[in-house]
Structure 1
Amino acid sequence: MKEVVRHRSDLSDLHVFYAVAVCGGLNAAARSLRVDPSTVSRALDQLEARLNTRLVRRTAQGVVLTKAGEMALARVRTIESQIEEMEHEVLDSEATSPIGAVTLSCSDGVGAYLLTPALTHLLRENPKLDLRLDCGLWPNNPLEADAEIALVFNAEPVPGYVSRPVAYFHYGLFGTQSFFELYGMPQSPEEALRHPFLHHTAQKLTANMPRKVPAFQDLARRRVETNSSAAVVEGVLAGIGIAGMPTVLASLYPELVMVGDAVEPLELSLVYHRDIERIPRIKVVLKWLEAVFDQKTKPWYRREFVPPHEFAAFTGAQAPNLPLGAGKVTERAPAETQAPKRRIATSGT
């Protein structure tokens, strides 16, 4: 602690010396610093005593820098410049640091398994940011929430809104390795009809959403039927039966085994009103979402199908769904930019 206090005093004396050198005299420096001339004289004497050298020669016209003083001034000028730059950076960071809440709507499965585990980095790096995650369960109608950002499957164009694809979900039939060891591994989707089926009723949501598993699901015995995709996932993991699920879950749960081929993928898009995209709190969440669904490091989100048995090469020892490089946003939002209330229709998945 003594070292910290001593160096802080050194910086204060250096600042006084800088003022004396720039202003050309002790009285002028005192006026600039708004202190008494005796304070300036005392600080300068302390600095010279500590350095054991003369930095200035006092004359009737003011002060003249010695050779040591000229050398010290060059260094102190750099220090003053760096301090000023640091102050500007801190002030700018504080002024543009994301503040407030962002409402994000998505399906319960996406919210529970893909977003919530990745929230740690976002919230730690943005302590003034709050997230309102709306994972409403609507089995037969699109989710309509007062959301600023929505994750929408097979989004349709809406005037005034940005709709940007970020990921592709490939669906297939899944069960656990232990379940198939106990009840037999089907060699085709048709053979899978022997097994109990967990049915997600939201699979019949809207006309623009294709089936996420083949049509034979209508012939399967639905031992469990639910409007919650999270309930389907937990049921499969618990060994109740099989279900149509996205391949990304195999990256989270290696015990899942896929039966047959994947069907046509669903496109997941970021949807938000173009008027709000430059607001810092919105911008940082958008950047975070892009990192969560980064297709370069997470092949299960790519348009082309990558089979689950190839995921191990990408997951490694790291948690597979954590975002990479989702940091703060430092750009200043225009003063006139406001965050209007927007309603975004999304499809529960």
Structure 2
Amino acid sequence: MKEVVRHRSDLSDLHIFYAVAVCGGLNAAARSLRVDPSTVSRALDQLEARLNTRLVRRTAQGVVLTKAGETALARVRTIESQIEEMEREVLDSEATAPVGAVTLSCSDGVGAYLLTPALTHLLRENPKLDIRLDCGLWPNNPMEADAEISLVFNAEPVPGYVSKPIAYFHYALFGTQAFFELYGTPDSIEDALRHPFLHHTAQNLTGNMPRKVPAFQDLARRRVETNSSAAVVEGVLAGIGLAGMPTVLASVYPELVMVGEALEPLELSLVYHRDIERIPRIKVVLKWLEAVFDQKTKPWYRREFVPPRDFEPFLGGETPNLRLGAGKVTERAPAQTQVPKRRIATSGA
């Protein structure tokens, strides 16, 4: 029994060391753990004595990890992560409904325009489930937990992971009907060059453009450049100019008008570690994602190209991103009472 108690104490000391390292000081760690600073100091002293080495150097500004401290922190991070996962698995296995948070990573446009509007049903039907949506916009300020499920374009196979194609995104040039009424509708890709272009710096469509204009993105006047898909989408909707966008957005914003031909599709895959797919909270999110990108009811996600003009029969008078196969689907208001769509200005497609 004494050995069990000693090891439990060791684990507590490691947890306190982790808090000190992450918070950058003893007082900050004490506030985070809601204990006295003396408790933190004593635990750190005990751990350093047991390891016979200094893990931190204490300064007036806080603490600085020694080389041994950096090595210890790397190990303790793994331990903390394993403990958190164990707690989640135990909670999930005992729960009658999915419990806990699921961290899901995707591009900002997919997160804002396609997933967030569809979260309503998922969260209403699973009140103990939380979603952490990591859109990767701020690499210096990441989500607290690594992604358990990822939506990845053109995913490469990774040992131990499931990588399952879930949708195909067809890109084309788009502007709004109102914009073309003011400035004229292009009758060719070349003619589109006379209009301002909104350029997404992470988007590379040149290789898939029709051969007659192989360098469209280089020739077009880049009136706006941004690394945000949402900024591109909102700029087009506001009437700034044209942009390359996925055709799925025409199912959300019928005022968008496609110019020219669509490009070869990009494959979107669902990626997750095969060991977690039976955990209830993971399982319910995977099922929800398959419904969000259901190619049978949403032809814009199919490999074969379906032009936006053919979307209407599949919308069925319903909000396109909320058709999840479970729960009541919100119907559109009659045309005379239709409320204008709220335009998201902080994440993109």
Asked whether the two chains share a fold, i.e. TM above 0.5, the reply is yes
Mapped to 1, the partners of 2:59 and 2:215 lie a distance apart of 97
Q: 1:38-95 CA deviation, whole Å, 9 max, x = no partner?
A: 9999999999999999999999999999999999999999999999999999999973
Offset at residue 345 of structure 1 (A): 25
Secondary structure of 2:168's counterpart equals: strand
Deviating more after overlay: 326-335 vs 220-229: 326-335
CA displacement, residues 242-266 of structure 1 (integer Å, 9 cap, x when unaligned) = 0000000000000000000000000
What is the CA-CA distance between 1:294 and the residue it aligns to?
A: 0.3
Instruction: Compute the displacement of 1:321 (Å).
Output: 1.3
Q: How many residues are aligned here?
A: 349
Find the residue that maps to 1:306 and give its secondary structure: coil
Quick one: higher RCO (CA 8 Å, sep 6+), 1 or 2?
1
Maintained 8 Å contact 1:147/1:343: no
Residue 146 of structure 1: CA displacement?
A: 1.3
Aligned in 2, Cα 1:167/1:53: closer, same or farther, shift over 3 Å? closer
Distance 1:219 1:184 in 2: 19
| 49 and 333 in structure 1: CA distance in 2 versus 1, 3 angstrom threshold | farther
The CA distance in 1 between the partners of 2:109 and 2:330, in whole Å, is 31
> Equivalents in 2 of 1:347, 1:62: separation in Å?
36
Partner residue, 2:227: 227
**C-alpha distance 85-236 of structure 1, shift in aligned 2 (>3 A):** closer
Change in CA separation of 1:245 and 1:205 when aligned onto 2, cut-off 3 Å? closer
Residues 103 and 131, structure 1, Cα contact 8 Å, conserved in 2:
yes
Once the 2 structures are TM-superposed, how far is the Cα of residue 331 of structure 1 from its aligned partner? Answer: 31
How many angstroms apart in 2 are the aligned matches of 1:327 and 1:138?
34
The 1-side partners of 2:108 and 2:333 are apart by 31
Q: Residue by residue, what CA displacement relative to the aligned partner does 1:176-206 show, whole Å, maximum 9, x if unpaired? A: 0000010010011111000000000111499
Indicate how the Cα distance of structure 1 residues 2 and 251 shifts in structure 2: closer, same or farther if over 3 A, else same.
farther
Aligned partner of residue 342 in structure 1, secondary structure: coil
Structure 1 portions without partners, runs of 5+: none
- Is the 8 Å Cα contact of residues 150 and 271 (structure 2) preserved in structure 1? yes
User: CA separation in 2, counterparts of 1:215 and 1:64?
Assistant: 51
Verify: 1:314 aligned to 2:314, yes or no.
yes
CA distance in 1, matches of 2:111, 2:229: 10
**Which structure has the greater CA radius of gyration?**
1
Q: Which has the higher mean CA deviation after the structures are superposed, 318-327 or 102-111?
A: 318-327
CA shift in 2, pair 1:41/1:222, >3 Å = closer
Cα distance in 1, alignment partners of residues 216 and 22 from structure 2: 85
Change (3 A) 1:187 1:159: same
Note if contact 1:140-1:202 (Cα within 8 Å) is conserved in structure 2: no
- Relative distance call for 1:45 and 1:149 in structure 2 (3 A) is closer
Alpha-carbon distance in structure 1 between the residues aligned to 2:219 and 2:58: 100
Q: Secondary structure at the match of 2:320?
A: coil
Distance 2:144 2:32 in 1: 61
TM-score (norm 2): 0.63
The answer to whether the Cα contact below 8 Å between 2:206 and 2:214 also exists between their aligned partners in 1 is no
Q: Relative to 1, partners in 2 of residues 1:20 and 1:229: Cα closer, same or farther, differing over 3 Å?
A: closer
Q: Is the 8 A contact 1:202 1:348 kept in 2?
A: no
The 10-residue stretch of structure 1 (94-103 or 76-85) with the greater mean CA deviation from structure 2: 76-85
Structure 2 match to 1:284: 284
* Native 8 Å contact 1:165 1:268 kept in 2: yes
Q: Matches of 1:223 and 1:40 in 2, distance apart?
A: 55
Distance 1:298 1:95 in 2: 33
Specify whether residues 263 and 57 from structure 1 end up closer, same or farther in structure 2 by C-alpha distance, changes over 3 A only. closer
> Kindly tell me: are residues 206 and 239 of structure 1, through their superposed partners in 2, closer, same or farther at Cα, counting changes over 3 Å?
closer
Seq. identity, %: 90
SS of residue paired to 2:163: strand
Offset of residue 136 of structure 1: 1.6
